[in-house]
Amino acid sequence: MNTQGSVVHAPAGFLSSSSKGQTSHDEKHRFVGVRDPRKIRILQFHPDLGHPRRTNNRVLPPELLLLIFEHVYADNMLNEEWIPCNSQSRTQFPFAPAAVCQAWRDVLASVPRFWTRIIINLDTTKLSHVDIYLHLSRNLVFEIIVTRDQRIVSQSRTNDDEGARAAAVMARIIPHLRRCKSLCFQLVRSSSLPALRHLNICAPLLERLKLQCGIDDGEHPLVSSEVPEQWRFDAPALRYLFLNGRNFRDACALHWVELLASLEDLCVSRYSGGKHPTGELHLHDVLLVVDRLHRRFERLQMLTLQDISFDGTLVQQDGYDIQIEAMSMQSIDFSTVRTIFASKNGPAPHLVHIKHELAPSLYHIRLTQADTLVLEGPFMRMAEAINIWDGNCLSIKNSSTFNDRTIRDIYRSWNPDKLTSPSWSRLYIENCTEFSADALLELIDARGVAVQRARDRDPTSQAPINSLRGLKVHGGPPISPKDTEAFKEKLPQMEWHEAATGTRH
């Protein structure tokens, strides 16, 4: 884009004739070009960052500042997309440099591209600044994140006005939704999130919609038990949909999700269960939507279920053909997990990820055929679940129960009569420190013996008999140079990163 020819129109209340923000009537309707950015005066952009500092920046001409900011902008982009960021960070571009001084803000405001990712913090961002940010992006496609300041949230003991502030921000976003590419709300309570049934609008460019919360405390105040008679939220380009449980329940009632022809990633989270006047959320609802999406469009690749207590887990007896690449179940009751796989009659997902904060038993969850199995968190009877799984890559994350005993239980319970047991050839371990290198070396040796025994028993067998060939440990226990050499002799691929020292082997 040629920034030399860009023009920004300053709305009323946007320009200031002094550092105190006093605005003259004549300046309110002035057009400002990039060649003379010093004519524009902008309000303090990011209250998070305090008052502008006094700096000696007048020696830098606007053209040089613009060149510097272009480089910073480029560092935040990848393939013409904003790189994912931490919305809590105080160093976000362009908000952080805009808080340095008026001259910097003037130059930044002259380039609409800089303002195509907007981060709204309900605890610190003024409503008037929301209007400014939306104006600065001109007619360009933009993405917006609405969030909370976690430091303020953690210190607050009262039920603040999160819902009212979120509604006020959403009211300002709605007129610009036609050019919005990504809309993300990351709030504390479900009742504060925008209600899906009130997004009665066309959003032709919207690719990502996130309505997520930390706790499920009930409905949005405007949600009633009656489904709207005339409702049309048109988002034909939507690829990533992340909804809290109540909004997803509404999406099912409105038969909306199953019409999203471009949908690739679906996440349903935060639902506390129980009887509700506005309806219930059943496991049947989720699996039915996934099944229909697959049959109609064959685009859905990822399904995530997180922190949901379904009102009912009964499913149709004939099962569901949930043919997707990846499935992630996080903090889900294990009877629900078993039901999902028991009801499945199609091929297994390529990747299955199970995460839990507690230590439930993995027993009797048959995860056969999935190529990659990711187990995250503490689990009881982990070895039994691993040994009835027939995939290729095993990944263990953040698990205090992955220890020497678990490792030994894995290889001691291998079935000597099953030639391909186990078939996995890659092991990834992340942020686990309760095991030892000795136990892993024993597992590798035991696997070698099992493979050789299987080959000796049936030399003509065409069945795949895999040795353990790849080991990657990140955030693991210390390892001696002797053990390092032993791993490298036994495995074609080996990486080891120690959690305590940061040493890599």
Residue 425 DSSP class = -
Asked whether residue 90 is assigned to any structural domain, the reply reads yes
Residue in the block written with tokens 């709204």: 120
**Which residue type occupies 465?**
I
pLDDT reported for residue 4:
39
Could you tell me if residue 109 is inside a domain?
A: yes
> Is 382 inside a domain boundary?
yes
Q: Write the CA distances from 61 to 93, 107, 230, 366, integer angstroms.
A: 20, 10, 56, 66
126 in a structural domain: no
* CATH number of the domain encompassing residue 436: 3.80.10
Q: Are 421 and 391 in contact (CB under 8 A)?
A: no
Number of domains in the chain: 2
How many whole angstroms separate alpha carbon 238 and alpha carbon 206?
6
User: Residue-wise pLDDT tens for the chain (505 aa)?
Assistant: 444 333 333 333 333 433 333 333 333 333 333 344 333 344 444 444 444 444 555 567 888 999 999 999 999 989 889 988 888 787 889 998 988 888 899 999 999 999 999 999 998 898 989 999 999 999 999 999 999 987 877 776 666 789 999 999 999 999 999 999 999 999 999 999 998 887 888 999 999 999 999 999 887 776 666 666 677 889 999 999 999 999 998 888 888 998 899 999 999 999 998 766 667 888 888 888 888 888 889 899 999 999 999 887 665 555 666 778 899 999 998 888 888 877 666 777 889 999 998 888 877 676 667 889 999 999 988 888 888 787 889 999 999 999 999 999 988 887 666 655 567 889 999 999 999 999 999 999 988 888 777 777 777 766 666 778 899 999 999 999 999 999 999 999 999 999 999 999 9
In which domain, by residue range, is 454 found? 351-505
What predicted TM-score, i.e. pTM, was given to this entire model? 0.81
Kindly state whether residue 129 falls inside one of the protein's structural domains: no
HSE at residue 502, side-chain half, CA atoms within 13 A, is 0
Positive or negative: CA dihedral 78, 82, 87, 90:
positive
- Contact of 303 with 325, CB cutoff 8 Å: no
* Residues in a beta bridge with 326: 302, 351
Is the CA virtual torsion 210, 214, 220, 221 positive or negative? negative
Show which of 58, 83, 116 is a domain's final residue: 116
- What token pair was written down for 85? 């960021």
Of 46, 81, 116, the domain-final residue:
116
Gap between the Cα atoms of 241 and 247, Å rounded: 11
Q: What does the pLDDT read at residue 30?
A: 32
In a domain, residue 314? The reply is no
- DSSP class of residue 178 equals G
Residue 176's nearest CA partner among 153, 142, 208 is: 142
Question: Three-state SS for 285?
Answer: helix
Q: Note whether residue 206 is domain-resident.
A: no
Boundary (domain end) residue, out of 86, 116, 146: 116
Residue 161 lies in a domain: no
What is the full DSSP assignment across 361-410? B-TT----S-SEEEEES--BSHHHHHHT---SEEEEES-SS-SHHHHHHH
